[in-house]
Structures are given as structure tokens and as C-alpha cells.
Structure 1
Amino acid sequence: MHDSAPPLTKTSLLIGLTGGIGSGKSTVAEGFKTLGANYIDADIVAREVVALGTPCLASIAAQFGPTILQQDGTLNRAALRQIIFQDNTAKEWLEALLHPAIRQALLQQLAASQTPYTLLVAPLLFENGLDKLVQRTVVVDVAEETQLARATKRDSSSQSQIKAIMDAQMTRFQRRQRADEIIDNNGDATQLFAQIKVLHDKFLELAAKLAH
């Protein structure tokens, strides 16, 4: 429990949802949404801040040259990903540019949320200190071999690329240690939704207490 977290939403309860690549965060977030909860996805916000016409995209093009852009002027994500995995200085520069912009956009969207509780979905919730914004943290947990298989298939990436992303993230053990709640996504969809429903009811109860 993070008692010092500021009440950002109109109903004040903010839940951090995280998990490694391929763990099923998006599926879990959609499960909560079907039950009436709103969620803000840091990955979606990260794409929005580098959309066509944004100051961040202009800065990236100025830093890495026009080849970092697609023919239509949008960001070539594959090319940028390759650069930052090979060049730590480039990675640090990009993070210094994007993290403040992403954080500001996240805060604006979270503040506008009006559901009883709101989920902040972020793969690097703990690594980027976003857990300080929330009252509870939920980790979607899955076996590492399952992560690798799912993410490789979903992203059409090589196993070595997915493994590099996994290595850059907090370990499965570290995430479990930091979690207030854990959702086991090693089973089927029915088992997964049952866990989501239990936590949804728990969060509604907690939100009601905070409202009084």
C-alpha cells in the first residue's frame, strides 16, 4: 500500500497494473474494463507523445536524422528500438526526452478519470517510479518461457530481441516481491477472469472506504 500517493483521480483510488513483456497486461486491463473500471495505458500514452506533429517526434528526428522516420513522417519504431538497444547514450537521451512528456500526459488522463477506481497500466511501473502515484499495485505473473513464446509470436520479433527486453525489465521475482496483488496468468481465460473479478470487488470496496 502506498499511503503517500496523491489522489489524482476524481474518486482518488489508483491501481498500478504491471507485468513483464508478454504477461498479458492488456488482456487483464480489458477484463477490468468489462467490469466498469477505466484504465490508462502508459504504452498508448508513449505512442501518443511521439505521434505525427508532436514536439517529441521533431526532437527525435533532429537527434537521429530523417531516416528515423517512415515515408509518411511517422516514427520508425523498429529503427529507433535497434538504436537504443545498441547505444546506451542514445537510450538515456531518449528517456530524458520522453519520460517527462509521458508522465505529464499520464497525469492529465488520470486526473480526468471518473470511475470508482482507475488502473495505470505500465510495463515499467516500478522501474520508472510510477508506483509512487498509486495506492495499490497488481502484477500479472506468468512463467518466463511463456512470456518469451507469447511476445515472440505477438510482436513478430526474434527470441533474442524479446529476451533483451526481458533482461532490461525487473525480474519476475522482483516484481512479485513488490506487488500488493498478484494475478496468475498461467491458466486459461476463465481462471484469469475469476481473479480479475475478485480484485475488482476488492477495489470497489476500497474505493468506497476512501470516498468517506
Structure 2
Amino acid sequence: MPKIIGLTGGIGSGKSTVAKFIEEMGFPVYYSDVRAKEIVNDDELLKKGIIELLGAKAYDENGLYDRKYVAEIVFNDEELLQKLNGMIHPAVKYDFEKWVGNQTTEFVFKETALLFELKLNESCFKSVLVTADDNLRLKRVMDRDGKTYREVENVMNKQMPEKDKIKIADFVIFNNDGMDELQAETENVIRQIEKLNE
């Protein structure tokens, strides 16, 4: 079985870019957040549960998960959000385990925004955090998603503070500079992880 490396980072940190560099180095990456978006549409049992919890409007007229509608309902309702996550996370966990079973590399990477929040790092060989200066992250997300300062700040405030993540992570990649520096730092961290397994 391959060893699992957790890869995480807050919104606008550059986590997805680092994941692409890792794939270019020949390591498979499981994109938890992307898969979760697919599973809510593909898993009929999960779909049924979500409709029971949030009503038929959770899916649009084409039968697709209505993320905007769901986000509006659960964003300020902690109990409802926990119930929803309590359905989605086990489905993603099962999907991930199936995926790992099909991999043949020494390491696989599990990319997820909530690695530390959900304590998923406890089942990983090592964890890698991608982080950047808060103001830089804010600017990136505003530019990328066309969101307001306040909207991005609200999302950031709901995530675990970066300083707390830095304390827990085994490796930290600081993404304050350009692409070349980010790639070099990513490669350096991967080499360190490989050495641990020699």
C-alpha cells in the first residue's frame, strides 16, 4: 500500500498549483474537494440523504447539486452543516480508499482543504501545508473569483488560522513569491519526504 501524504492549504494559498507540480513529479493526487463535488451528483444514496436533509431544492431541475443554494442554507447553520458534512465526508473517505487501492506508487497525495480541521492528518504518513501571507491570499481570491474583500474574509475566518496549521504540519511550503520559487520549494519538500522512506 502506498503511504498517504496529506496536502492542504487555505483558500488562495496555491495548494492546487502545488498539487499540479506533485503530479508532474509522477505522484498521483486525489483531489478531495473536486471528488466531493462529483460524488454529491453520482452517489444516489448520498443524493437521497441530502434531499431528505435539505429538501428537493438542494438539486436543480437537471438533478445537479445546487452548491449556491446549499451554501446559503448551511453557511450560518453550524448544526445543519455538520449533518451535511457527516454524509459527504464518509462517502469521500470510501471513494479515497478505493482510489488508494488502485495506486502503485510509493506515495500518494490526498489534497483537501480540511486536513487538520477533520483530523485527517492523523491517518497520513506526513502532512504538507501550503501557505501564504493573508493579504496576498485575499488579493488572489478576489482577483480569481471576483469576490469582495468581505466575502473572502468570511471564508478565511471559518478556516483554522494559518499559524495553528503551521504548528501541526510536518512540512510547510510558503507561497509568497513566484511560480519558479514555488516549484523549487515543492520539489525540495518531496525529496525530503522520499528520504524519510529510504
> Which range, TM-score by smaller chain?
over 0.9
> Would the alpha carbon gap of residues 73 and 52 (structure 1) be closer, same or farther in structure 2, given more than 3 Å must change?
farther
In 1: Cα distance, 2:63 partner to 2:149 partner: 29
Q: What does 1:63-212 align with in structure 2 at a 5 Å threshold?
A: 63-207=53-197, 209=198
- Once the two structures are TM-superposed, the CA of residue 73 in structure 1 deviates from its matched residue by 1.0
1:15 aligns with 2:5: yes
SS in 1 for 2:5: strand
In 2: Cα distance, 1:21 partner to 1:37 partner: 23
- Once the two structures are TM-superposed, the CA of residue 202 in structure 1 deviates from its matched residue by 2.1
**AA matched with 2:103:** S
Q: Report what 1:7 is aligned to.
A: none
In 2: Cα distance, 1:28 partner to 1:64 partner: 35
- Once the two structures are TM-superposed, the CA of residue 58 in structure 1 deviates from its matched residue by 2.2
| Residue identity (%) | 27
- TM-score norm. by structure 1 comes to 0.87
Runs of 4+ in 1 over 6 A off after TM superposition: none
**AA matched with 2:36:** A
Gaps of 5+ in 2: none
- Once the two structures are TM-superposed, the CA of residue 140 in structure 1 deviates from its matched residue by 0.4
Q: Report what 2:45 is aligned to.
A: 55
Gaps of 5+ in 1: 1-9
